[in-house]
Amino acid sequence: MTIRSQKFDTAFVKENLMGPNALRIAAELALSLKLEKGMRVLDLGCGKGLTSIYLAKEFGVTVFATDLWISASENYERFKSMGVDDKVVPIHAEAHDLPFAQEFFDAAVSVDAYHYFGIEPDYLEKHFAPLVKKGGQIAVAVPGLKKEFAAEVPAGLAPYWIEEVRNTIRSRGWWHDLWKASTVISFKECKEMKCFKEAWQDWLTCDHEFARKDIGMMDAGGWKEFNLVAMVAEKL
């Protein structure tokens, strides 16, 4: 699988996916960023670190690959096997208790993870943006909805609309309004991502048990109702 100038072994990618293909999402998100060799980048909710590996290889940035569910030791083994352990630092941390200095990062990114914590109205101002230098870059991609559901969840999707999903999957407009209200960033973009279909197809065919369950959800209305939302901002 080739993502911009990087070739990845498809089996390696599929083994390490945790949702829609994070490599495709990171590559599209990075089109809105100016990343240069030596910059320090926070990758929050990096999971198995595919995005961190990609950013380090493609741009020569130093990535602090931070995650809760995946241990730092597991990610360190993966980073060594990919030859990026000199550029990617594995960190195990919770998003509300991040072990970094304020204004430490040139850029902060988060792919398919921010909705778990960033849905809180003060998360951006209290926890995420303060870690980025003034003038630094912030870029987030989350799974979302084309528009908020009216009173009822569409019938086909109802069985999948458990509390965790209901609380975290919001529309582009919802995210736009949340970030637009912030006084600590200059909001640059909030848009639906072009890679939605391909990123989801890669996930649904990767033979992960959660992906097999997601096939039903996408066929029951997900393809019609869902999108991927990208948000890009500058830290003030």
Max CA-CA distance within the chain? 51
Taking the complex as a whole, the smallest distance from the CB of residue 51 to ligand SAM amounts, in Å, to: 6
Taking the complex as a whole, the smallest distance from the CB of residue 46 to ligand SAM amounts, in Å, to: 5
Cα four-point dihedral sign 212, 213, 214, 220: positive
Of the pair 210, 223, the CB lying nearest ligand SAM is at 210
Taking the complex as a whole, the smallest distance from the CB of residue 59 to ligand SAM amounts, in Å, to: 17
Binding site for ligand SAM (CB under 6 A): 18-19, 22, 45-47, 50-51, 67-70, 94-95, 111-113, 116-117
Of the pair 69, 223, the CB lying nearest ligand SAM is at 69
Token pair belonging to 196: 């939605």
Of the pair 95, 178, the CB lying nearest ligand SAM is at 95
Taking the complex as a whole, the smallest distance from the CB of residue 112 to ligand SAM amounts, in Å, to: 4
Cα four-point dihedral sign 84, 101, 121, 139: negative
Residue 29, class by beta-carbon neighbours within 10 Å (0-12 exposed, 13-18 middle, 19+ buried)?
A: buried
Taking the complex as a whole, the smallest distance from the CB of residue 126 to ligand SAM amounts, in Å, to: 14
Of the pair 36, 164, the CB lying nearest ligand SAM is at 164
Distances (CA, A) of 233 to 130, 137, 179: 13, 6, 9
Taking the complex as a whole, the smallest distance from the CB of residue 150 to ligand SAM amounts, in Å, to: 27
Of the pair 135, 216, the CB lying nearest ligand SAM is at 216
- Quick check: 56 and 84 in contact, CB under 8 A? yes
The residues near 173 (Cβ < 8 Å, ≥ 6 apart) are 147, 148
Cα four-point dihedral sign 18, 20, 26, 32: negative
Of the pair 164, 236, the CB lying nearest ligand SAM is at 164
Strands 185-192 and 6-7 turn out to be unpaired
Residue nearest to ligand SAM (CB): 47
